[in-house]
């Protein structure tokens, strides 16, 4: 069996969009449940783990065939930089091609929250940048960032674009400009039903450049406010 990266060479965009929609719908089911067993107050690892488990349970009842996994280990080609991928989806196409989708997940807070800046930095440095340097998806031209938010955090994913354009971030994140000097495209050219925006990142050879599609998944209930220090 041949491992194909990029999957876009063998997988129709309609099916790719169906995979993303399956993830989004699964999140809504666990977040909007009458007695949810996961909330915005949980850590992003716990949220992603619960989401993956629900996706695995749902799989037989969806039109999407394949395998959902949580925290799959990955290393660079030289066996360095060991990392764990938050959520991955793999499937076999045409009985010969094994393809994989990668979703990196981070929590984000609204701009009025004291944690907003810290978590926005983590979204960029521990999420986006790891795609840029090849820690994640070194062979793929497309991957996904997920921002978990509560009602106060709606818009937090798109708000990360301001930080992307500051200081050395443009260079460090390898950002390619779109029209009018913007470093993001909103709505995105693909996955527009669920993605807030796309960003395109230049990567050093032999890596392929990569386009990231950014999703914002909202919990219906606000998280607890951070306790004030006495």
Phi, psi of 32 (to 5 degrees): -95, 5
CATH code, domain with 128:
3.40.91
Whether residue 224 lies inside any domain: the answer is no
At 74 the pLDDT is 63
Whether residue 20 lies inside any domain: the answer is yes
Burial of 145 per CB tally in 10 Å (0-12, 13-18, 19+): buried
Instruction: Answer whether 102's CB lies under 8 Å from 112's CB.
Output: no
At 230 the pLDDT is 47
Instruction: Answer whether 208's CB lies under 8 Å from 35's CB.
Output: no
Q: How many domains does the chain have?
A: 1
Match 């796309």 to its residue by tokens: 198
At 2 the pLDDT is 43
* Residues 129-160 pLDDT 10s: 999 999 998 888 899 999 999 999 999 999 99
Whether residue 166 lies inside any domain: the answer is yes
DSSP string, 59-97: GGGSS--SEEEEEEEE--TTS-S-EEEEEEEEEEETTTE
At 68 the pLDDT is 92
This prediction has a pTM of 0.90
> Domain of 30?
2-218
Low-confidence ranges of the chain (pLDDT < 50): 1-5, 79, 230
Q: Which two tokens stand for residue 93?
A: 């196409």
At 4 the pLDDT is 44
Instruction: Answer whether 82's CB lies under 8 Å from 71's CB.
Output: no
Whether residue 226 lies inside any domain: the answer is no
């Amino acid at each position: 069996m041949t491992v194909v990266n990029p999957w876009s060479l063998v997988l129709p965009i309609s099916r790719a969009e169906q995979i993303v929609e399956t993830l989004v719908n699964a999140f809504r089911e666990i977040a909007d449940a009458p007695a949810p067993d996961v909330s915005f107050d949980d850590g992003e690892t716990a949220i992603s783990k619960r989401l993956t488990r629900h996706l695995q349970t749902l799989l037989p009842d969806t039109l999407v065939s394949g395998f959902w996994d949580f925290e799959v280990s990955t290393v660079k080609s030289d066996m360095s930089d060991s990392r764990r991928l938050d959520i991955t989806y793999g499937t076999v196409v045409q009985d010969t091609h094994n393809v994989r989708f990668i979703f990196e997940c981070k929590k984000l807070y609204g701009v009025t929250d004291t944690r907003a800046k810290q978590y926005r930095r983590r979204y960029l440095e521990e999420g986006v940048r790891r795609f840029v340097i090849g820690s994640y998806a070194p062979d793929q031209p497309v991957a996904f960032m997920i921002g978990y938010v509560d009602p106060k955090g709606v818009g937090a994913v798109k708000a990360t674009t301001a930080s992307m354009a500051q200081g050395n971030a443009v260079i460090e994140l390898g950002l390619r400009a779109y029209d009018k000097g913007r470093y993001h495209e909103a709505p995105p050219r693909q996955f527009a039903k669920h993605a807030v925006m796309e960003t395109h990142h230049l990567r050093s050879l032999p890596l392929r450049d990569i386009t990231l599609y950014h999703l914002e998944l909202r919990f219906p209930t606000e998280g607890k406010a951070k306790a004030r220090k006495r």
